[in-house]
Amino acid sequence: MKNLRLRLLAALPVVLGCQLPLSLPTAYPTSTLTDRPLLLSGPHKCVDNVCVYADSAFGGGMSVVTTEENAASLASMTTPFVEDVVSPPPFFESYILGKGIGLVANAANATIRHGDRLMVHSPTLLVHWKTHETLEATLREGLYQAAVHRLPAPARRVFSRQMLIGGSDIHANIETNCFRFFLGGGHDEQAGHLGCFPPAARMNHDCSPNVHYTITNAVQSIVAVRDIRPGEELSVSYVDLMLPSAERKERLRGWGFECSCALCRDEKASAAADARLEEINALTEKMDSGDPSVTVDDGHRLVALYEQQPGLVLYIGQQAYTRAALECALFREECAVEYARKAVEALEIEMGDVTSSQDVVSMRVLATEPHTHWAWGLRATV
């Protein structure tokens, strides 16, 4: 029996220093899909104009700490029922050497494909950003404890298991593990919130991540931005990848770790990446300024720079393909159609709910009826 167990262990792939389990854990649901509207009870405990609201049956349980106006806005939002989530989840929790717990693509499954939707879930806890930043600590923690108490027991266990990593109180855990976004989009400070999505909190950072998340109507969706091999760790970016390496590292220290991803470990590659970022910034400024010397070649070069830097795939649709498509269209070049098609595909991953995006509408027109697009031929005779 002992020899059989050793042979089984030897047969397991050793990837990224992972300690792979013999069975796939299912400690938490990775998706909480529902076509039922959010029905918040409350207000419960309040401090000034911020109160606790809850729906114990929505997506496994959800508590909210926010203003009455935001609670009403949240309850009125349409919550999508998403049917294209990969199921069963093609990944599992595992210990990652030097990082702690992470998520790893299941070695028994096929490759996760670019564009696969891996998780869709509502937050377990949603808190008002300004309150989190400014409310006196004792009052704030009292609100948070009341909110967690309103969760059903399974959700509380998941929250405790997944979130109690960042410190001794709930505030510290929110700081470490939750995601900032604005209700209804935009950048209204009063609509700013932090959403705690325990499954996503298990993903570690990488400066060349293989998954991307969007948050629409407080629902988080996680999609593969490239093919992910069996045994490979799932990773997300904690910071803006358009920042130079020194600034990325400094910001990541705020999470309590020194980035040791492949890009950051390779000084030569990191320096080359910073040089590409400088060229990208200069080229983008030139193209956006209306400089008459801009040509189609500038659009090609911009796309090439983004494609050479793996992490920038998170922004390539809006920042590169769209600009290149418009530049081609200005000169009546057929490359406008190719870039517009790529832009639409990338924007659907980058932005999540893209039905009302002006960029997507514009690129769809350019991809299908280029001669009718506003940009077609504007500089062809200049």
DSSP annotation string for 58-127: STT-EEEEEEHHHHHHHHHSPPP----B-SS-SEEEEEETTTEEEEEE-TTSPPBPTT-EEEEE--SEEE
The low-confidence residues of the chain, meaning pLDDT below 70, are: 1-30, 33, 35, 78-83, 108, 162-168, 186, 353-356, 380-382
Phi, psi for residue 125 in degrees, rounded to 5: -135, 135
Q: Which residue has the tokens 């949240």?
A: 74
Handedness of CA 16, 17, 22, 25 (dihedral sign): negative
CATH 2.40.128 fits domain 266-372: no
pLDDT digits 0-9 by tens, 160-209: 776 545 456 788 888 888 899 998 776 788 889 999 988 888 899 999 99
* For the chain, the helix, strand and coil percentages under 3-state DSSP, each to the nearest 5: 45, 20, 40
Asked if 356 and 306 count as a contact pair (C-beta separation under 8 A), the reply is no
* Euclidean distance between the first and the last CA atom of the chain, given in angstroms as a whole number: 80
In the 8-state DSSP scheme, what is residue 373?
S
Give the pLDDT score at 233. Answer: 94
Structure-derived torsion over alpha carbons of residues 8, 9, 12, 15, reported in degrees to the nearest 10: 180
| pLDDT confidence of residue 15 | 35
CB 347 within 8 A of CB 115: no
Give residue 214's region: left, alpha or beta (phi > 0; psi -120 to 50): beta
274, 277, 281, 284: CA torsion to nearest 10: 160
User: Top-level CATH class of 11-241?
Assistant: mainly beta
Alpha-carbon span 382 to 323, nearest angstrom: 19
For residues 41 and 227, give the distance between their C-alpha atoms in angstroms, rounded to a whole number. Answer: 42
pLDDT score for 26:
42
The whole-angstrom separation of Cα 122 and Cα 198 is: 10
Cβ contact 114:227 at 8 Å: yes
In the chain, which segments carry CATH 2.170.270.10? 11-241
State both tokens at 245.
Answer: 């390496």
Residues of the chain with CATH 1.25.40: 266-372
Conformation bin of residue 290: beta by default, left when phi > 0, alpha when psi is -120 to 50? left
Distance CA 312, CA 274 (A): 12
Query: What are the tokens at 347?
Result: 């924007």
Q: How far apart are CA 127 and CA 181, in angstroms?
A: 11
What the block records as the tokens of 19 is 């300690």
Q: pTM of the prediction?
A: 0.84
Q: Tell me the one-letter amino acid at 158.
A: V
H or E element at residue 212: strand 211-216
Do residues 302 and 323 make contact, with C-beta atoms less than 8 angstroms apart?
A: yes
